[in-house]
Structure 1
């Protein structure tokens, strides 16, 4: 069963999303908190993961990140990873208040950018009893160096500086497209599969998604290092799902980070690329996620 929800963060921003509650016996269920990746909104297949969890007796709180989709927040279309981490923790606090939530059995799930967020959240917040991180960003600096050609990096840095000076003068943040059909065109996610997946999903099921992001979001991406926290997650059980052909949040960085994680942990490998986990490989990824939370939140509870 799915209900629309909204809740306020500590700074008063309203975030909106869905609360999924399993059928059957209750009244309290283990609950997983989840939000989406860089610029993405909840309609971009997070409902499939929440439904899979409900099928194994796990509730979920699913929400749009601030400044995006149905959630409030300014400036619109800005992605601040550290603020999103704080919002994850506020969402956990909100989940604790729901009468259907067993507050002793809370987990977090994230994918792509939020796959990095949940590594940080699980390392810092011991209310989290289980974590699943799918195709995660590990190092913003190293990943950016893989996505942006070396001869273009100085020009991008100059744009960051220009934007910073303009904001100090009171001008609105500069923006850029998230995806581009032209591989050489300016885009925050400059890969062909980013264009294919996000443009198609926007038309099919996510009309609130916008192909725009603040330039400052891209600068913050390059400063973000969620993989630095991975060794501190233990003893919280960690599931990592890595797509071997992922060249957006590159697979070798995720695999190296997994080796730095301590037990208990589990690695699931997908043969495809970054976005395949949501659709064509969902039967693998979704089953792995639901089995992991069932094992550590339902059976172990």
Structure 2
């Protein structure tokens, strides 16, 4: 798909297969001072996760992007995140049946967009993802479109919370 992408890896201390989390930065790239992805990755690795931070902007040659640049690059970045899922699932220390995505802002959007298309992603943690103008799976607004994994999670949670 073009340029190579740097993927930072943070390994748990013990041997064996571990669940994996792919951390996705927002539109400020990995430079955003208020969200230290590397610190978060080290902490998650200590908790037993294999953690990966793909520099998905590398694929398009950006360091950070303005909102006007997002739409034209979304499909490339989503494809890059899927490439990262492929890379992570092949790592010897990763349990390929337990791969998750987490992202902030643009990274949150990409996490949900990727999970909606890729069955290998089992969990998504999204914070401040941008939906209003972009949509997922061709939908204009999140309120009219829910990714299948979110529907399953919500229905399980609602069923557990019902009183007899």
Query: TM-score scaled to structure 2, two decimals?
Result: 0.74
1:137 to 130, 134, 152: 130
Change (3 A) 1:12 1:51: same
Change (3 A) 1:59 1:139: same
Secondary structure in structure 1 of the residue aligned to 2:12 = coil
Match of 2:9 in 1: 19
Structure 1 runs of 4+ off > 2 angstroms? 71-79, 226-237, 262-266
Contact 1:129–1:236 at 8 Å: present in 2 too? no
Match of 1:171 in 2: none
In our comparison, the structure showing a higher alpha carbon Rg is 1
Match of 1:295 in 2: none
Match of 2:155 in 1: 263
Distance in 1, matches of 2:49 and 2:149, equals 22
2:88 to 85, 90, 95: 95
Query: How much has 1:55 moved relative to structure 2?
Result: 2.4
Instruction: Give the aligned length.
Output: 144
Match of 2:139 in 1: none
Query: How much has 1:231 moved relative to structure 2?
Result: 3.7
The reply on whether 1:121 has 2:114 as its aligned counterpart is yes
The reply on whether 1:48 has 2:39 as its aligned counterpart is yes
Distance in 2, matches of 1:23 and 1:41, equals 24
Query: How much has 1:14 moved relative to structure 2?
Result: 0.5
Query: How much has 1:59 moved relative to structure 2?
Result: 0.8
- Which runs of 5 or more structure 1 residues have no equivalent in the other structure? 1-10, 141-223, 238-261, 267-301
Match of 2:162 in 1: none
Question: What's the CA shift string for 1:45-88, capped at 9, x where partnerless?
Answer: 1112212211221111102122xxxx353477554122211111
Secondary structure in structure 1 of the residue aligned to 2:19 = strand
RMSD between superposed Cα atoms in Å? 2.6
Distance in 1, matches of 2:31 and 2:120, equals 23
Match of 2:149 in 1: 233
Secondary structure in structure 2 of the residue aligned to 1:49 = helix
Distance in 2, matches of 1:35 and 1:16, equals 13
- Which runs of 5 or more structure 2 residues have no equivalent in the other structure? 137-141, 159-164
